[in-house]
Structure 1
Amino acid sequence: MNAPDRYERFVVPEGVSKYSLSLSLSLYIYIYTYMCILGVVREGHQNHQCGVVYRRARGPHYWQYSPHVCDFAFLSFEFVNSFFDENPNFSYIKNRQLHRDENVLFAGYKLPHPLQYKIIIRIHTASQSSPMQAYNQAINDLDKELDHLKNEFEMELARNTGKPPQEY
């Protein structure tokens, strides 16, 4: 009844970009620096954003952050990528591949609405790499894994049937 036409899933409307990209410096710099100054973060506590360990200043109840650590370690970059007309299954696979990267702090995707063919991917990385590098690396790694899987399948098929693998 109110479902969109089936061709809308495959055709990008005029004036709509296939994808949009936005990069921004995360607010974690200010939040965690403030937490360090207040002494909320304690020695031995590893920050889940960048893995920085804080040190004790005087006695067991006084905590202090190292300014040279906090000023640079909390640089975390955010990457928001919106794709029009993409399969959610492929987004799930890319998301799982991004989670394998050590520099990726957060990777997630969402479908705003089931009848809208749009997927939003959000990636947070540590300061060692950019989200775009992590995203491109994930795509390249997936491509290599799929090629390896295809070659293994063709070799096993050729071994069981006795026919050489075909070129596509």
Structure 2
Amino acid sequence: MNAPDRFELFVIPEGKRKVEMEEDTKIPNAATFKIEREDHTLANMLRMQLLKDPRVLFAGYKIPHPLEHNFVLKIQTAPDTTPENALGDAITELIQEIGQLKNKFEMDVIRQRAFEDAKASHGAGMDGDDMALDPHRAGLDVDF
């Protein structure tokens, strides 16, 4: 089979860098970033985060070829910042958002387990459907 080895999807080849930047000489405050060993998942998240920034005038990406494991991200900013700064800020904000999402998910899992434990321990005198509709009756202090 002609499929590439799976490690090629995430191991950066010798001599290549994870991120390479090239300034655009035709457009002011614009740069192109080539990011190795990533795909649409990260590219789209970065693009959307960049577009939330009012200093960013344009952000877009493309995958040069489906068998190449990289993407090209183009950023144009207002004169008061640089594409490098905008990308760095977007990465920092994404890390914070993902951390908040992780914490919320973990809290929801803990609440669900507590609800299921309370349902199991108090289930003798309660109708299971009533408890599913009202977690307060199951002895849980939850906010929805």
* TM-score in same-fold range (> 0.5): yes
TM-score (norm 2): 0.71
Q: SS of the residue aligned with 1:22?
A: strand
Percentage of identical aligned residues? 38
Cα distance in 2, alignment partners of residues 151 and 118 from structure 1? 30
Cα distance in 1, alignment partners of residues 26 and 78 from structure 2? 10
Is the contact made by 1:83 and 1:118 (CA closer than 8 Å) also made in structure 2?
Answer: yes
Alignment of 1:11-160 (within 5 A): 11-27=11-27, 76-160=28-112
Q: SS of the residue aligned with 2:47?
A: helix
Is the contact made by 2:39 and 2:63 (CA closer than 8 Å) also made in structure 1?
Answer: no
Q: How many residues align?
A: 115
Is the contact made by 2:39 and 2:70 (CA closer than 8 Å) also made in structure 1?
Answer: no
Q: CA deviation at 1:25?
A: 4.9
Q: SS of the residue aligned with 1:107?
A: strand
Q: SS of the residue aligned with 2:30?
A: strand
Is the contact made by 2:47 and 2:61 (CA closer than 8 Å) also made in structure 1?
Answer: yes
- Summarize deviations over 1:71-109 as a string: whole Å, max 9, x none: xxxxx3012110111132111111111111111111011
Q: CA deviation at 1:140?
A: 1.1
Is the contact made by 1:95 and 1:109 (CA closer than 8 Å) also made in structure 2?
Answer: yes
Q: SS of the residue aligned with 2:49?
A: helix
TM-score (norm 1): 0.62
Cα distance in 2, alignment partners of residues 8 and 160 from structure 1? 39
Is the contact made by 2:9 and 2:69 (CA closer than 8 Å) also made in structure 1?
Answer: yes
With CA pairs under 8 Å and 6+ residues apart, which has the higher RCO, 1 or 2?
A: 1
Q: SS of the residue aligned with 2:66?
A: coil
CA RMSD of aligned residues (A): 1.8
Q: CA deviation at 1:19?
A: 2.2
Considering fraction of residues, name the structure with more helix: 2
Query: What residue in structure 2 maps to residue 38 of structure 1?
Result: none
Q: CA deviation at 1:9?
A: 1.4
Q: CA deviation at 1:18?
A: 2.2
Instruction: State the AA in 2 paired with 1:23.
Output: E
Structure 2 segments unaligned to the other structure (5+ residues): 118-144
